[in-house]
Amino acid sequence: MKLNLSADEVLSTTRAVRKRLDFDRPVEREVIEECLELALQAPTGSNSQGWHWVFVTDAAKKKALADIYAANFEIYRALGSSNAYQEGDLRYEQKDRVLSSADYLTQNFHRVPVIMVPCITGALDRVPAFAGASAWGSLLPAVWSFMLAARERGLGTAWTTIHLMNGGDAQAAQILGIPEGITQAGMFPVAYTIGTDFKPAKRLPLDPIVHWDQW
């Protein structure tokens, strides 16, 4: 069932959903594929269409992926990246809520109905900027389009990359049978949301980040 949101509403309310994922409601394969059909309309460099999409529903494989994520999250959490912001910064005010949400997903990742691992053809570790930008630009728009299409259908997603740390990508590749020469872009929970009333996020003003003609 579609929510019949306007384009602006979908763009401004597609959140990284963690605490409002419904772990008990199955996600139909046809809904996933409907979202993916829309996502594949995204632009791709030189019309390469070198993307691959792994959807994981097997309980044992989800648990194995979640374990990789959890191990890396403990390392990431210890780095204290959220401490980079100072009091008075909007991001400082939000950090405890964001960390709590991330903790919750880490503890429950294995419970999501579907885990999505989008991939792109090519080994992108330390490639020149042009090659990396071209490859990622041929996948990331499609991933975002999938997330937007999912939102319109009452599904929640969250873009996570922590499982890729410390050789986790190689471990995930072994679990999922991903061949060499294929790069993973992240690991996404996909589930129906508990309620659909998401609001625009608070963001920093344009002034510090917009540059006309020069920095």
112: CATH:
3.40.109.10
Q: What is the pLDDT of residue 22?
A: 98
Confidence at residue 148, expressed as pLDDT on a 0 to 100 scale: 98
| Res 169: pLDDT | 98
Q: Is residue 180 part of a domain?
A: yes
Answer whether residue 90 is part of any domain. no
Q: Which residues of the chain are modeled with pLDDT < 70? A: 81-83, 88, 90-94
For residue 125, give its domain range.
7-41+49-81+95-192
| Number of domains making up the chain | 1
Which pLDDT value is given to residue 88? 66
Within a domain: 206: no
Beta bridge partners of 109: none
Identify the pLDDT of residue 80.
Answer: 74
Q: What is the amino acid identity at position 18? A: R
CA distance 215 to 87: 26
Residue 100 confidence (pLDDT): 92
Q: What does the pLDDT read at residue 81?
A: 62
- Report yes or no on 211 lying in a domain: no
Q: Is residue 203 included in any domain, yes or no?
A: no
Asked if the structure places residue 88 within a domain, the reply is no
